[in-house]
Structure 1
Amino acid sequence: MRICVLGAGVVGLTSAYYLAKKGFQVTVIDRQPGVALETSFANAGQISPGYSAPWAGPGIPLKAVKWLMQKHAPLRINLEPEMEKLLWIGRMLGQCTAGAYHVNKSRMMALAEYSRDQFIALRKDIGIRYEDGQSGTLQLFRKDEQVAAAEKDIKVLKALGVPHQVLTPAQIVEAEPGLTSVIDKFKGGLRLTGDETGDCYLFCQSLKEICESLGVTFQFNSDIKSLDVKANKVKGVETQFGVQAFDNVLVCLGSYSKELLKACEIDIPVYPVKGYSLTVPIADDKYAPVSTVMDETYKVAVTRLGGRIRAAGTAELTGYNLDLPKSRTETINHVVSDLFGKGCDLSLAEYWTGLRPMTPDGTPVVGASGIHGLYLNTGHGTLGWTMSCGSAAVIADIIAGSETEIDSAEFSAQRYK
């Protein structure tokens, strides 16, 4: 059976892999000249099931107002009126209740934990390497109220059986010795020992070769114009080269999924949330991170990738704008300098920006679309790398008509009806 996967980022590639393993004849189409050249190119490097949580939660509206007035704010909003942005913000605010937070976090954690297990199995099965590490994620709390606020997340971790450690400042430096000289800035930490790290771009390069060995074909430099749908059945995909026929189509286009689906009268609440990253070589290992640290105050993750430091953060609501102004990199610069400034020379940093496809409730959209033969795997937000293998395994089972290993109903687009 012929299936077309639209999008060659990490979600599209992992989907292609699991579909090929099930015997599908897979074609991947992407507008870029290669794999992982958009959102997957220079992300935070975290595979963080333990840190999987929706942005929408109690207290977030008030925090958001305060953030907008700070220099080093984790959130920025372009104030120019835009209907899609306003609608998305309104839906997200509707999820800022204790009940919704608990439901959404539980859903996200279940998928992310399953995905981490799939990563482990993938490494065992095919020996793929991507500067991967298995030393966990460490949340850093600069304020006592952050330590107290973490209690609600710890309850969810306990309920789901997710391994974690609550750390004192002294224990923080045992896990991350590079923080020794700045440990007086922190009140405590939460270490998620099951989390992993890795270079997503490197992973995608290797997985492409493995996919090709399984018979997957790739069509790059192909602009996806529309879906060919007749009588509520998908027939194929139109690019600048014409219409190609397929039995099934899987949309993995991240932030660009929504626009393509509109023509089919499918409306999913996915909005592009812009993020920034820097990558800098390590100059002194003694002052560098061991794994990933997440500065809870600035919502910036700093990750060790081999001989480099990758830092990523900032959420900016500004549509599909991909400009990279220096002013927008100041926060990630500040955090790296503040935590590991002795370990690197920031004058050598390389900067990048990308769009994360966010849903209002934080949970991705994975499943059937309502049109026969058309499926969705999109809306992973900042957790595309974390959830990629899990959501790919789920959608491959759905398309194959197999029973999924975790409950997939909660990821369906039907929850927005």
Structure 2
Amino acid sequence: MHVCVLGAGIVGLATAWHLQREGHQVTVVDKATPGAGASGGNGAQLSYSYVQPLADPSIWSQLPKLLLAADSPLKLRPQLDPLQWRWGIEFLAACNPHTSRESTAALLALAASSRLGFEAMRADIAPDCDFSATGKLVLYQNAEGVEAAHRQVDLQRTMGSVQQVVSADECIALEPALAGYRERIAGAVHTPSECAADCLKVCRELERALRTRGVRFVLGTEVRGFDERQGRVAALRTDGEPVEADAFVVALGTASHAIGRKLGTSVPVYPLKGYSITLDVDEAPGAAPRVSVTDSARKVVFARIGARLRVAGMAELVGHDAGIPPGRIETLVDATRAVFPQLERYDELHPWTGMRPATPTGLPIIGHRPGTARNVLFNTGHGALGFTLAFGSAARVGDAVNALAA
């Protein structure tokens, strides 16, 4: 089959790679260059074994502080946008133990599949992407957080995850660069199998490899609509030439909601705006972390990518505002100075913002949607786990495409 993939972020490119490997003809369409959206400066962590959804029961007790504190990692700017209000209500409804457990199980299963897919891609194209497999530490600042971590680890252990709660001293033994933060660590979750990589480099390497294999890229092109015939989409209308195909996969991140409306369905995806900085680091022992680190209190992640440190965090429900307020970058710098006080190179920060496409439950939308043509599939709504889940969701889309072809 000829499959048109709408979107050249990591999810769309992983889908294109999988479909091409399955023997399909593939065209990728995007208004920008590969990885230019939410993939470009993301947190760089591949969190296959620690996928606790944002919609968690603990949100209720944290909500006043998260919404009202000036330095809160979660920010809400109410707008006259029905999607924002509907998404927020559905998100809060999902913050209950049952939904959180169900979402965690589903995300872990998808992440396990995605690990296999990512490794297959690495074996296939050998991307230059600063890949590392040094594990991850999720830090907690108080006994209450450590207790909640024990519960999450116990839950994920029943689902196959291998991880343990460790003390502050054990943290520092695993990652000496945390020594200056010792007094703020009550405990942590250590997952030795977690990985990291530069997602933008992966996107560029996928584009390079796919072009050599005959995948067509139509970039710098806006999607204008669809031509439907006899219950199927026959062509994609763009601001250039139409793109005809046998099947279409919508992997457009936060734009998927608007595209879904053109196709006759509601796609509950809303942007969770995040920020990152990327620092050059010294190679001196203990100066910068080798192990990936997540500070749960600050909602900030740290990932080593080659000779750089990616620092990312925050989640803002502010629509599609692509501005980068200096205060948000200062928050990331302050977090880095606090957690790793020995780092000194802040001359180049490379500030970035991206719109993570999130569903209320945290579960991505994969496959056919009611009300749409039968040859249209979706692969969107991965939130902050797009890099982690991309290759697993690509495999599921591949199964759906093969079913269409049967």
Same fold at TM > 0.5 = yes
Answer yes or no: is 1:325 the counterpart of 2:332.
no
Deviates more, 1:71-80 or 1:297-306: 71-80
Distance in 2, matches of 1:37 and 1:306, equals 20
2:28 touches 2:217 (CA, 8 Å); kept in 1? Answer: yes
Answer yes or no: is 1:379 the counterpart of 2:378.
no
Partner in structure 2 of residue 241 of structure 1: 240
**If the length of structure 2 is used for normalisation, what is the TM-score?**
0.96
Answer yes or no: is 1:197 the counterpart of 2:199.
no
Deviation at 1:328, TM superposition (A): 2.0
Deviation at 1:250, TM superposition (A): 0.5
Answer yes or no: is 1:127 the counterpart of 2:126.
yes
Q: SS at the partner of 2:149? A: helix
Answer yes or no: is 1:84 the counterpart of 2:83.
yes
Distance in 2, matches of 1:194 and 1:81, equals 44
Partner in structure 2 of residue 401 of structure 1: 403
Distance in 2, matches of 1:221 and 1:318, equals 26
Answer yes or no: is 1:278 the counterpart of 2:293.
no
Q: SS at the partner of 2:40? A: coil
Distance in 2, matches of 1:251 and 1:376, equals 5
Distance in 2, matches of 1:341 and 1:278, equals 16
Distance in 1, matches of 2:174 and 2:335, equals 19
Answer yes or no: is 1:66 the counterpart of 2:68.
no
Deviation at 1:400, TM superposition (A): 1.1
Distance in 1, matches of 2:24 and 2:183, equals 55
Deviates more, 1:341-350 or 1:261-270: 341-350
2:257 touches 2:269 (CA, 8 Å); kept in 1? Answer: yes
Q: Which amino acid aligns with 2:395?
A: A
Deviation at 1:402, TM superposition (A): 9.1
2:136 touches 2:192 (CA, 8 Å); kept in 1? Answer: yes
Distance in 2, matches of 1:220 and 1:315, equals 29
Distance in 2, matches of 1:58 and 1:182, equals 28
Distance in 2, matches of 1:334 and 1:373, equals 49
Deviation at 1:109, TM superposition (A): 1.1
Partner in structure 1 of residue 345 of structure 2: 345
Deviation at 1:346, TM superposition (A): 2.1
Partner in structure 2 of residue 290 of structure 1: 290
Matches within 5 A, 1:95-114: 95-114=94-113
Deviation at 1:27, TM superposition (A): 0.5
Deviation at 1:151, TM superposition (A): 2.1
2:153 touches 2:164 (CA, 8 Å); kept in 1? Answer: no
Distance in 2, matches of 1:22 and 1:59, equals 42
1:73 touches 1:331 (CA, 8 Å); kept in 2? Answer: no
Listed one character per residue, the Cα deviations across residues 167-206 of structure 1 (whole Å, up to 9, x for unaligned) are 1111101111111122121111101122110000011111
Matches within 5 A, 1:188-227: 188-227=187-226
Unaligned ranges ≥5, structure 1: 404-417
Which of 392, 395, 411 in structure 1 is aligned with 2:394? Answer: 392
Q: Which amino acid aligns with 2:362?
A: G
Deviates more, 1:122-131 or 1:346-355: 122-131
Q: Which amino acid aligns with 1:347?
A: D
Counterparts in 2 of 1:284 and 1:339: CA distance versus 1, 3 Å: farther
Distance in 1, matches of 2:233 and 2:23, equals 20
Percent identical residues: 31
Answer yes or no: is 1:2 the counterpart of 2:2.
yes
Deviates more, 1:260-269 or 1:60-69: 60-69
Q: Which amino acid aligns with 1:11?
A: V
Listed one character per residue, the Cα deviations across residues 29-87 of structure 1 (whole Å, up to 9, x for unaligned) are 1101x211111111000110222121112131331221123233120011334221111
Q: Which amino acid aligns with 1:187?
A: A
2:256 touches 2:380 (CA, 8 Å); kept in 1? Answer: yes
Q: SS at the partner of 2:399? A: helix
Distance in 1, matches of 2:239 and 2:393, equals 29
Partner in structure 1 of residue 11 of structure 2: 11
Q: SS at the partner of 1:20? A: helix
1:300 touches 1:312 (CA, 8 Å); kept in 2? Answer: yes
Deviation at 1:284, TM superposition (A): 5.3
Partner in structure 1 of residue 116 of structure 2: 117
2:181 touches 2:339 (CA, 8 Å); kept in 1? Answer: yes
Answer yes or no: is 1:361 the counterpart of 2:398.
no
Distance in 2, matches of 1:375 and 1:317, equals 26
Distance in 1, matches of 2:383 and 2:181, equals 31
Q: Output the aligned Cα RMSD.
A: 1.5
Matches within 5 A, 1:258-273: 258-273=257-272
Q: SS at the partner of 1:160? A: coil
Listed one character per residue, the Cα deviations across residues 72-131 of structure 1 (whole Å, up to 9, x for unaligned) are 312001133422111100011111111111001111111012111221222223323310
**If the length of structure 1 is used for normalisation, what is the TM-score?**
0.93
Q: SS at the partner of 2:182? A: helix
Listed one character per residue, the Cα deviations across residues 338-391 of structure 1 (whole Å, up to 9, x for unaligned) are 112322322321100000000011010011234211011000000000001111
1:280 touches 1:344 (CA, 8 Å); kept in 2? Answer: no
Structure 1 runs (4+) greater than 3 angstroms displaced: none
Counterparts in 2 of 1:402 and 1:262: CA distance versus 1, 3 Å: closer
1:11 touches 1:385 (CA, 8 Å); kept in 2? Answer: yes
Deviates more, 1:158-167 or 1:65-74: 65-74
1:13 touches 1:204 (CA, 8 Å); kept in 2? Answer: yes
2:375 touches 2:404 (CA, 8 Å); kept in 1? Answer: no
Q: Which amino acid aligns with 1:222?
A: T
Matches within 5 A, 1:19-98: 19-32=19-32, 34-98=33-97
Distance in 1, matches of 2:299 and 2:278, equals 17
Distance in 2, matches of 1:182 and 1:372, equals 54
Deviates more, 1:246-255 or 1:283-292: 283-292
Partner in structure 2 of residue 184 of structure 1: 183
Distance in 1, matches of 2:281 and 2:299, equals 22
